[in-house]
Structures are given as C-alpha cells and as structure tokens.
C-alpha cells in the first residue's frame, strides 16, 4: 500500500485530507523543474529574478512549505535541540517544580530567539541513557538536561559517548560533561551572611545535601558561619524529601529534636514557603521568631506573605547560557562549564526590622 502511485490516499475515507503539496507539484504548475523550484525557494541567485518571484508567489498562494524532514535528510542538517527533564521513577513525580518549569520557559524563549526548535522529553532518571535517544535517532543535534540529581556517572557516560549535552547543575570533580549552574557556594554564603547580619545565630539548613547543588549551598553555609566564628551545629541540618510534605516534616523534626533555632535557610523557595506555613501552624512567626531565606527566586516568591528573602538564580540568563554552550559543543568547540552569579534578594521574611 505504500510505494503506490502518488495518488491521493482515498483508501481512508475518513481522512478527507487532500494530499500534501510537494515540490514536484509546484514545479509542474510553474512549468519548471524541481531543481528550479528548490533554488527559487532558497533564494538562489542562480535563478532569474522573474522565475524566482513567480515561483515564490505560486508557493505562497498555494501555502506550500518545504518538507523539513526531507530537507534535513538531504542536507544532513537539523535545527532542533532536545530538552530533557528526568523524572523520579519511584515517585512517578510529575513535572510541576516551578523552578524547572521556569527554566523550560526560559529555554523556549532562548531557542525561539535563535531559530531553533525545542523537543521536550521526559525520561526515567534511573535510565538516563535514554536521555540521548532523541540525539541517537537523529531528531536533535544536542541536548539540554535539567536536573542533575545524583546522576553524575551516567551523565559522564553520555559525554564520553560524545553526545553533545549541557546540564543545568553543579560543577563536580572529574566531570566530562559541561554544566551551567548558579554559584551555589556563594549563594549559601550570601544567605547566611545576611542572616548573621540580621543578628541570627541558630540557622537551620533544610535540604538534601547529597544532591550536588544543595551540598554546595550547605558548604557555603558552613563557610559563612565559620568565617563569622559561629559554630556549626549538625543538629541544625535537616534532610528534606522533595515531597510536598517535605517542609512540614522538616519543621516538625526540628521541633521534635528540641533544638533552638532562630532562622532557616531552605534549599528552595517552595520548601521555604512550606516551612513558613508549617511554622505558622505551630505558632512560630516569620520573621519575628524565625527568619527565613529561600533559594531560586521563583516568580511567586515576591507575592508570598511575608515576601520571601531568597537567593536569586538568574533563570533567563541560564536559558541563554545553556543554549549557547550547547551550540559551541555542537560546533565541535570547547564549552567550559560555567557558574552564573547568584544574588541575595532581601524581602520581609528575613528582616528583623
């Protein structure tokens, strides 16, 4: 049934779609060869002004567009970038993290601006090999991966296979792949310096420090405390799951432990917000009794009550940086990992007044 004459597919009565126009049709209608049409549409100088205009006119009036698949195949080119967001197999977690979604938006904007298409896929984080599938099958010429998690080794393997890939995340030792990420250590320092300046001394840290980025933020936390001559109390480190109830659990664990604290530095804005809510339920006031600093500066942080002090990750710049690094890689050039500056955004949640 394939390889039949190029007749309309009338074997399928329901699909009343007229056969798609192709270059040969335009050529026939214009009384020229397909080569001429191809050249005309490409704006080649090899075809006379007159014919070119005529053909373009014709194509436009018939709403003919070149079949990109065929063109790509022939030209061995492609202007599609893959964006992969791993998901956790166990929690079957949906794509709802506001920071990741924001990054997706930022990448969409950056790619659109440069005339690239964006192919989004989700893969099981435990099968990160699959992240390269759109590249292996030739659908995309490179991949941006959002969500480094704990998959350093698998990412290294991809890079070793020469898959052009750029990862949003932390720069780690023995890293073969290119990362773009925020300056997490400085981010941690900024947060803690600020809290110290506000007179806080018992600063809890909420986050899973096994995740590279969070680990670095904790390192910044420690460094700032040490520099200020404030001891680091391991009791103040509270590991937090990424579940919606994480913030509540963390606050309750802290209370259960009976450790005194007058501030929280949370690994994400979402976590900070959940924590503030949990504390409110327990009669703890922010910032009066506990000052809170979040991380990311997602859009809603400024609308929160109290408006959230946070470490801003430059998400628009991040999108652009990820894309430009990837394009370097694709061109066969070096793309050094880079850290984007993080900044402290002071709002009410941490102000002692």
Partner DNA sequence: TTGAAAGCGCTAACAC
Partner DNA sequence: GTGTTAGCGCTTTCAA
Of the two residues 233 and 328, which places its CB atom closer to a copy of itself in the complex? Answer: 328
Q: How far from the centroid of its chain's Cα atoms is residue 252's Cα?
A: 31
| Tokens read off for 41 | 């549409």
- Answer yes or no whether residue 137 interacts with a copy of itself by CB under 8 A: yes
Cα 58 from Cα 68, distance rounded (Å): 19
**Residue 67 interacts with a copy of itself (CB under 8 A): yes or no:** yes
Per-residue binder mask for DNA (CB under 7 A), 16-45, x = binder: ----x-xxx------xxxxxx-xx-xx---
SS3 344: strand
Q: How many residues sit close enough to a copy of itself to count as binding (CB under 8 A)?
A: 65
Greatest pairwise CA separation for the chain in angstroms: 87
Q: Does 63 participate in binding DNA (rule CB under 7 A)?
A: no
* Minimum CB–partner distance for residue 118 and DNA (Å): 22
Q: Are 206 and 236 in contact (CB under 8 A)?
A: no
Q: How far is the CB of 201 from a copy of itself (least distance, A)?
A: 26
Q: For residue 167, what are its two tokens?
A: 């990862």
List, in order, residues 6 or more apart from 351 with CB less than 8 Å away. 198, 287, 291, 309
Is 139 among the residues that bind a copy of itself (CB under 8 A)?
Answer: yes
Part of the chain binding DNA (CB under 7 A), chosen from 65-73, 79-87, 116-124, 195-203:
65-73
Of these partners, DNA, a copy of itself, none, which one is at the site of residue 122 (CB under 5 to 8 Å by kind)?
Answer: a copy of itself
- Name the helix (H) or strand (E) containing 119: strand 117-124
Site string for a copy of itself, 179-218 (x = CB under 8 A): ----------------------------------------
Q: Please, what is the minimum distance in Å from the beta carbon of residue 116 to DNA?
A: 18
The verdict on 37 binding a copy of itself (CB under 8 A) reads no
Structure-block tokens of residue 112: 């659109």
d(CA 128, CA 108): 22
CA distances from 168 to 84, 193, 198, 287 (A): 11, 26, 32, 32
For strand 291-296 and strand 143-146, is the pairing parallel, antiparallel, or unpaired? unpaired
Whole-number minimum distance, CB 255 to a copy of itself, in Å?
19
Given the rule CB under 7 A, which residues bind DNA? Answer: 1-3, 6, 20, 22-24, 31-36, 38-39, 41-42, 46-48, 51-52, 66-67, 70-71, 73-76
């Amino acid at each position: 049934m394939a390889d039949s004459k190029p007749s309309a597919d009338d074997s399928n009565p329901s699909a009343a779609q007229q056969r798609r126009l192709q270059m040969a049709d335009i050529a026939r209608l214009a009384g020229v060869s397909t080569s001429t049409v191809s050249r005309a549409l490409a704006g080649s100088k090899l075809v006379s002004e007159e014919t070119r205009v005529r053909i373009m006119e014709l194509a436009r009036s018939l709403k003919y567009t070149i079949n990109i698949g065929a063109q790509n195949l022939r030209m061995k080119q492609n202007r599609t970038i893959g964006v992969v967001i791993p998901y956790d197999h166990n929690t079957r977690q949906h794509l709802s993290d506001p920071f990741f979604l924001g990054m997706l938006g930022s990448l969409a904007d950056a790619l659109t601006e440069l005339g690239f298409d964006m192919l989004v896929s989700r893969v099981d984080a435990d099968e990160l090999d699959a992240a390269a599938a759109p590249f292996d099958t030739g659908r995309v010429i490179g991949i941006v991966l959002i969500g480094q998690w704990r998959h350093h080794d698998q990412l290294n393997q991809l890079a070793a296979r020469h898959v052009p890939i750029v990862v949003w995340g932390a720069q780690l030792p023995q890293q073969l792949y290119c990362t773009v990420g925020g300056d997490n250590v400085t981010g941690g320092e900024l947060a803690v310096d600020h809290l110290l300046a506000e007179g806080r001394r018992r600063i809890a840290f909420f986050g899973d420090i096994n995740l590279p980025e969070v680990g670095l933020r904790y390192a910044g936390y420690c460094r700032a405390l040490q520099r200020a001559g404030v001891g680091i109390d391991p009791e103040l480190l509270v590991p937090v799951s990424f579940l919606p109830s994480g913030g509540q659990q963390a606050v309750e664990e802290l209370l259960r432990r009976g450790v005194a604290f007058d501030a929280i530095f949370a690994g994400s804005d979402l976590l900070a917000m959940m924590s503030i809510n949990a504390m409110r339920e327990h009669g703890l006031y922010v910032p009066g009794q506990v000052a809170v600093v979040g991380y990311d500066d997602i859009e809603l942080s400024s609308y929160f009550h109290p408006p959230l002090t946070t470490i801003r990750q430059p998400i628009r710049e991040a999108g652009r940086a990820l894309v430009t690094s990837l394009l370097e890689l694709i061109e066969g050039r070096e793309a050094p990992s880079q850290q984007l500056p993080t900044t402290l955004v002071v709002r009410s949640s941490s102000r002692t007044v």
